[in-house]
Chains A and B, each alone.
Chain A
Amino acid sequence: MAKFQCLAEAVAENLKDGDSVAFEGFTHLIPHAVAHEVIRQGRKDLTVMRMTPDIIYDQLIGMGCVEKMIFSFAGNPGVGLLRRFRDSLENGWPLQVEIEEHSHAAMANAYEAGAAGLPCAIFRGYRGAELTRVNPNIKFIKCPFTGEELAAVPSLRPDVAVIHAQRANAKGDVFIEGITGVQKEAVLAAKRSIVTVEEIVDDFGGISPNATVLPSWTVTSVVAVPGGAHPSYTQGYYGRDNAAYIEWDKVSSDRDSFTAWMEENVLKQGPEVFETRVAHLKNAG
């Protein structure tokens, strides 16, 4: 059964140095608050994975928490490139991050295979694509029935999955709606999971019988962090802070301004600050 915890405790108990961790979210519901707590606790040597690593991976990399990143699209969505990620790859600052690069289809299939308890994912992909040359974890196998050659990649089974969702109920079941990305798969593929939610309610009420719900017994830790996805958004609660994504491009352009921003906005803050950051975005939810 999921434990209700405070954020500092949830991170301390579930995420250790050297762990592999998926902070998932596809533009929507990105778990910023947890990533900031991980940075405050100074985790090191993490293998991070995500289909669309954006600002939080830029921050984790820039703060030296990351040893390796598995990904399929590393950008600041709607704005441009990830400057701290680039500085690491191009100049080795603060550390040279090792990368394992895939396509979206490969990552999505690999999480699904992880959730399904399979060792690898099989799909029709990567034909004529040069990632096959640089990533030894992309292989091809022959379908035993038709002879068709198909791509295979190892399943993704992180030590920890971290997601943000709309609500948990009193038992710790988690309800998630809107663009749900690969979050359900990531949680089911992981050994442990931390889920932050906008609110904890007695019961979910009249949701659809087919709603996406993660049962309490599939989740390790539930933490209420209102606004915890900011500057990403939570459908039904607050809109995306597009200005913050644009500002990040400037903040992250230079090592000093990045370090100063992290000091002021992450290291000196706690999870309670997120609620104030989304106050002006509530009408857009």
Chain B
Amino acid sequence: MTNFTPSEMMTVAAARALKNDDVCFVGIGAPSAACNLARLTHAPDITLIYESGTLGTAPNVLPLSIGDGELCKTALTTVSVPEMFRYWLQGGRITVGFLGGAQLDRFGNINTTVVGDYDNPKVRLPGGGGAPEIAISCGEIFITMKQSLRGFVEKLDFVTSLGHGKGGNDRAAHGVTTRGPTRLITDLAMWEPDPVTKEFTVTSLHPGVTRDQIRETVGWKAKFAEDVGETPAPEALELEVLRDLHARTKAAHEGK
């Protein structure tokens, strides 16, 4: 087997979750790497959309920011930001939204706003940006995040964007008709919501990962599906394409 890092495993697993006919709302960081890896491997026709207004973009290197020129230059077209949020996101044209965050709970609710009290913050984070509406308007949501006790918490300090709320039918009770978080892809495992409780449940462990590692990195009592599989390790081609993408990106951002 080829050697790979947990972070590479996470990106590859997230990329595999995307389909060739998906229209994907992409965030910066891990989601951006995963979406572009999908485009460069099994999903060449995937439509990638960044909230800066770039529609159908195919960056040669990963953007540092959500509005890099590379995104605009390689896009089919670039629309204004109000149009992006009104016609494309709110209009229901996005099949998958990719989110990450500072804190996540077992129902896929996310906090990117504040650690501590909102009016008296311990750490003031950037805030929601597009997330509150991405979370409710995309057909489904994939979350990708590295597992840690700091990030995977029993109770969020602030609910920036809605996942499955308090679980069960709570999402629908908020008047939201989209599916919400359907996959959580971490550096250790693949999780899916339980069909009834909507609590994230481990469905597949990445190669070499133990159940104890899962428990030690999650601030709630982690649940496991009846059949927990093993995530197929990254293939040589997936790793090669991903590493090339990162190398090109590094060279481009350090180039001048």
Contacts and interface: CB of A to CB of B under 8 A. Distances in A.
Contacts, number: 181
Interface stretch (B11-19, B85-93, B220-228): B85-93
A5 interface: no
Interface residues of A, number: 56
Interface string A63-105: 0000000011111011001100110011000000000010111
B69 A127 contact: no
Interface stretch (B41-49, B75-83, B192-200, B210-218): B75-83
B82 A112 contact: yes
A240 B65 contact: yes
Given A78-B64, A108-B82, A179-B52, A73 B128 contact: yes
B85 A27 contact: no
Contact of B81 (A26, A90, A127, A235): A26
B2 to A, nearest CB: 30
Interface residues of B, number: 56
A110 B193 CA distance: 35
Contacts of A72: 127-129
Interface stretch (A118-126, A165-173, A197-205): A118-126
Nearest to B28: A78
B121 interface: yes
B123 interface: yes
B256 A77 contact: no
B161 to A, nearest CB: 6
A180 B127 contact: no
A178 B127 contact: no
Nearest to B116: A90
Contact of A131 (B54, B128, B174): B128
A104 B127 CA distance: 10
Nearest to A239: B69
Interface of A: 26-28, 51-52, 71-75, 77-78, 81-82, 85-86, 89-90, 101, 103-105, 108-109, 111-112, 123-131, 134, 148-149, 178-182, 184-185, 233, 235, 239-240, 242, 245, 280-281, 283-285
Contact of B82 (A28, A185, A283, A285): A185
Contact of B72 (A73, A178, A281): A178
A103 B128 contact: yes
Contacts of B118: 130, 134
B165 to A, nearest CB: 6
B67 interface: yes
B241 interface: no
Contact of B52 (A85, A123, A181, A242): A181
B133 A105 contact: yes
Contacts of A75: 126-127
Contact of B161 (A86, A129, A134, A184): A129
Interface of B: 28, 51-54, 63-69, 71-73, 78, 80-82, 84-86, 89-90, 109, 113, 118-119, 121-133, 135-137, 158-162, 165, 171, 174-176, 253, 256
B73 to A, nearest CB: 8
B174 A128 contact: yes
B125 A28 contact: no
Given A104-B130, A105-B133, A128-B174, A240 B124 contact: no
Contact of A240 (B68, B130, B132): B68
Contact of A185 (B80, B113, B159): B80
B69 A235 contact: yes
Contact of B126 (A73, A108, A233, A284): A73
Contacts of B165: 128
Contacts of A78: 28, 63-65
A127 B64 CA distance: 30
Nearest to A124: B90
Given A82-B126, A104-B128, A178-B72, 8 more contacts: A71-B127, A72-B129, A103-B128, A125-B133, A125-B136, A128-B159, A128-B176, A131-B113
A207 B27 CA distance: 32
B52 A27 contact: yes
Contacts of B171: 128
B156 to A, nearest CB: 8
